[in-house]
């Protein structure tokens, strides 16, 4: 049961982190000729980011370090996203 | 128990995720494989009253049809777009937006007879369900694939999560059983557990690239509408929905002018410009009540949807304005990526060969879940009889998918009118449950073999069901469906016959 809870936690954390990171990507990627490249590339990157972060968190030997790094990067990416949404 | 890390942790993770999501995954993959033939399935159910391509009507017929539809137009914004699409029984459907609501007015016109056949209002989904009960068959399979027949965004979330789970299953499976040369072929092994395990890895190794592409693009399609696009719009466009619509459509200004071009002549000009092998799918009439009207026409390349484009014409002068990509106002990375995601997900980039390849690869990938459950059943045989029984039930149910499809098609053929959807749903899930119950016993491999054989019989009967329901044998595009089900029946019978060779001590 404990393992299940931990794995589910890793997947949920990866989901939130991937969502925030892909939202932040829209702010840094070039818009391209049709003004849409940043949205499409960020949307496509979401599943890849989720799977990558999820697998990394599940198997990490240094678990604390993996979680700290994931949380830090997510929070760092969240700042410009929140600033943008709040205008 | 000590916490595992690295490959050990990934192995346990692979088992946990697989146990939970494999059945949803197998349903989504299986129905998605059949949905590759959705165009052919539509032709199959409408063989006696085929839909005609928009460019198949005469220019005069189209002009008259539009005039008739405009006479039924509701009070609306001058700038609101009007959509024209082809419909079964050689009709045209003209769709008007209604102000301050998601509802639309659908006007069905018969261009040949020069008459309005029906005027209905409702949401797009309601219209889809009411349009033609026969088309329920194709919609049933597609809706099962997209949202497992659940309403609203819940279904998209479930299938999206299943696609994401498949991505991590593939990643963890590849790390745990990293393909070595011995994994590419079947090896002679003694124990049932080793044999089932080998088959699972063998299928995984061969289907991994395809499953990766499908789960990545599937997660994109499920989550794009349900979550990602709204979030991205909020961040990238500061929530400005109108601006987003403009950018997506690739809006542009048209000079105001006198006069009105013939709608039919525009369609004929667009057909000539699109070229052979391409059909006009949907027309959007912009600002049609004003003096800067224009028409945007989507055309589909049947060999490869990557080459599909849109053509814009001036509605006053009939002059060709520009060619647009499927998204936005000019070619960009976004439209190229989206075209390829769509083509790779639907297998629509190498004509019928591409579709056949995608269909077979999709069906092959569903065996990953069946063999995974089989492995789970064998592994728990002595450890946990209850878990083993559950795994055997799920294996039987997964093997019963072809039987359930045959039952749903039979229900579609015999049910009438509005009951057809519930009849198909009941037939499909009751067959799955019965197949699951059959597989639950100790002689499960024998039962799975029988279920596969019944599935073969059900598949082989599909052409006869079509002949019985529509009164004529399939031809043209519709024949592809009959050919597929006969081949599928052959493969299932072959699989059933080969099982004793794979498991000689058990069967």
Q: Does B332 sit within 8 Å of A36, measured CB to CB? A: yes
**Neighbouring residues of B384: CB distance < 8 A, sequence distance ≥ 6:** none
Which of these, B313, B316, B317, B337, lies nearest to B325 by C-alpha position? B337
- Residue B253 above 50 pLDDT? yes
Name the residue among A44, A51, A87 with its Cβ closest to that of B164. A51
How far is Cα B445 from Cα B457, in angstroms, rounded to an integer?
Answer: 19
How far is Cα A7 from Cα A1, in angstroms, rounded to an integer?
Answer: 10
Give the pLDDT mean for B130-146: 85
Sheet containing B115-122: order of strands: B115-122, B104-110, B91-97, B82-87, B278-286, B294-301, B309-314, B320-324
pLDDT for residue B1: 42
- A9 has a chain B CB within 8 A of its CB: no
Q: Does A34 sit within 8 Å of B335, measured CB to CB? A: yes
Range 228-267 of B in CB contact (< 8 A) with A: 228-229, 231-236, 238-239, 247-248, 250
Q: Which residue of B has its CA nearest to A26?
A: B236
Average pLDDT along chain B? 86
Q: Does A32 sit within 8 Å of B13, measured CB to CB? A: no
pLDDT digits (tens, 9 = 90+) for B460-507: 999 999 999 888 999 988 999 999 999 999 999 999 998 887 776 655
Q: Does A32 sit within 8 Å of B334, measured CB to CB? A: yes
Contacts of A34 in chain B (CB under 8 A): 247, 250, 325, 327-332, 334-335
Q: Does B337 sit within 8 Å of A46, measured CB to CB? A: no
- A86 has a chain B CB within 8 A of its CB: no
pLDDT for residue B506: 59
Tell me the β-bridge partners of B309. Answer: B299
Give the pLDDT mean for B133-146: 88
pLDDT for residue B426: 96
| Chain A closest-CA separation from residue B420 CA (Å) | 36
pLDDT for residue A76: 97
Q: Does B227 sit within 8 Å of A36, measured CB to CB? A: no
pLDDT band of residue B134 (cuts 50, 70, 90) is: confident
- B17 has a chain A CB within 8 A of its CB: yes
Q: What is the ipTM of this complex?
A: 0.89
- A27 has a chain B CB within 8 A of its CB: yes
Is 0.90 surpassed by the pTM of this model?
Answer: no
pLDDT for residue B181: 64
pLDDT digits (tens, 9 = 90+) for B167-211: 989 888 888 877 676 666 666 666 778 888 888 888 888 888 999
Report yes or no: B7 and A59 within 8 Å, Cβ to Cβ.
yes
| Chain B closest-CA separation from residue A8 CA (Å) | 9
Report the share of chain B in percent with pLDDT over 90. Answer: 33
- A40 has a chain B CB within 8 A of its CB: yes
How far is Cα B440 from Cα B387, in angstroms, rounded to an integer?
Answer: 11
pLDDT band of residue B456 (cuts 50, 70, 90) is: very high
How far is Cα B64 from Cα B366, in angstroms, rounded to an integer?
Answer: 49
Burial pattern B198-218, b for ≥16 Cβ within 10 A else e, equals bbbbbbbbbbbebbbebbbbb
pLDDT for residue B317: 86
Structure tokens that stand for B189 in this block: 């092994």
Name the residue among B7, B167, B228 with its Cβ closest to that of A51. B167
Can you list the alpha helix ranges (DSSP code H) found in A2-87? 2-28, 37-59, 63-86
Q: Which residue of B has its CA nearest to A85?
A: B235
Contacts of B325 in chain A (CB under 8 A): 34
How far is Cα B468 from Cα B133, in angstroms, rounded to an integer?
Answer: 17
């Amino acid at each position: 049961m404990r393992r299940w809870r931990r794995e589910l936690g890793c997947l949920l954390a990866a989901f939130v982190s991937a969502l925030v990171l892909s939202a932040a990507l829209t702010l840094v990627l070039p818009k391209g000729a049709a003004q849409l490249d940043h949205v499409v590339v960020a949307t496509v990157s979401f599943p890849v980011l989720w799977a990558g972060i999820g697998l990394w968190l599940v198997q990490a030997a240094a678990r604390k370090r993996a979680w700290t790094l994931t949380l830090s990067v997510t929070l760092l990416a969240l700042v410009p996203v929140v600033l943008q949404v709040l205008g | 128990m000590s916490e595992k890390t690295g490959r050990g942790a990934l192995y346990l993770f692979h088992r946990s995720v697989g146990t939970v999501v494999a059945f949803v995954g197998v349903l989504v993959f299986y129905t998605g494989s059949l949905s590759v033939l959705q165009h052919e399935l539509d032709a199959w159910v409408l063989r006696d009253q085929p839909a005609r391509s928009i460019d198949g009507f005469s220019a005069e017929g189209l002009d008259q049809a539009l005039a008739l539809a405009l006479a039924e137009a509701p009070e609306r914004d001058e700038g609101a777009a009007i959509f024209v699409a082809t419909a079964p029984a050689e009709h045209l459907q003209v769709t008007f937006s209604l102000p301050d609501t998601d509802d639309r007015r659908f006007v069905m016109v018969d261009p040949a007879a020069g008459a309005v056949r029906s005027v209905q209002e409702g949401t797009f989904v309601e219209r889809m369900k009411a349009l033609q009960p026969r088309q329920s068959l194709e919609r049933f399979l597609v809706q099962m694939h997209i949202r497992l027949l659940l309403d609203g965004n819940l279904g998209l979330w479930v299938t999206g999560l299943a696609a994401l789970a498949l991505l991590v299953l593939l990643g963890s499976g590849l790390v745990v059983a990293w393909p070595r040369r011995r994994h590419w072929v079947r090896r002679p092994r003694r124990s049932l557990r080793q044999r089932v395990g080998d088959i699972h890895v063998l299928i995984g190794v061969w289907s991994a690239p395809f499953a990766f592409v499908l789960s990545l693009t599937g997660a994109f399609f499920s989550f794009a509408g349900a979550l990602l696009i709204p979030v991205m719009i909020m961040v990238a466009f500061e929530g400005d929905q109108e601006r987003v619509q403009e950018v997506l459509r690739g809006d542009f200004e048209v000079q105001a002018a006198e006069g009105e071009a013939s709608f039919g002549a525009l369609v004929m000009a667009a057909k000539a410009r699109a070229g052979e092998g391409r059909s006009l799918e949907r027309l959007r009439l912009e600002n049609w009540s004003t003096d800067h009207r224009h028409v945007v026409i989507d055309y589909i390349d049947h060999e490869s949807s990557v080459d599909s484009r849109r053509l814009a014409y001036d509605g006053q002068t009939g002059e060709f304005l520009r060619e647009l990509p499927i998204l936005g106002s000019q070619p960009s990375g976004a439209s190229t990526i989206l075209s390829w995601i769509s083509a790779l997900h639907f297998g629509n980039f190498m004509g019928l060969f591409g579709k056949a390849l995608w269909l077979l690869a999709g069906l092959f990938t569903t065996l990953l879940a069946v063999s995974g459950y089989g492995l789970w059943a064998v592994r728990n045989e002595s450890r946990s009889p209850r878990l083993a029984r559950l795994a055997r039930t799920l294996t039987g149910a997964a093997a019963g998918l072809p039987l359930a499809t045959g039952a749903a098609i039979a229900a579609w053929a015999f049910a009438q009118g509005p009951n057809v959807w519930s009849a198909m749903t009941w037939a499909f899930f009751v067959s799955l449950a019965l197949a699951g119950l059959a597989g639950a016993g100790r002689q499960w491999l024998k039962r799975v073999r029988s279920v596969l054989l019944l599935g073969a019989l059900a598949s082989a009967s599909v052409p006869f069901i079509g002949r019985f329901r529509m009164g004529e044998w399939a031809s043209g595009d519709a024949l592809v469906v009959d050919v597929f089900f006969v081949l599928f029946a052959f493969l299932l019978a072959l699989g059933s016959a080969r099982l004793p060779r794979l498991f000689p001590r058990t069967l």
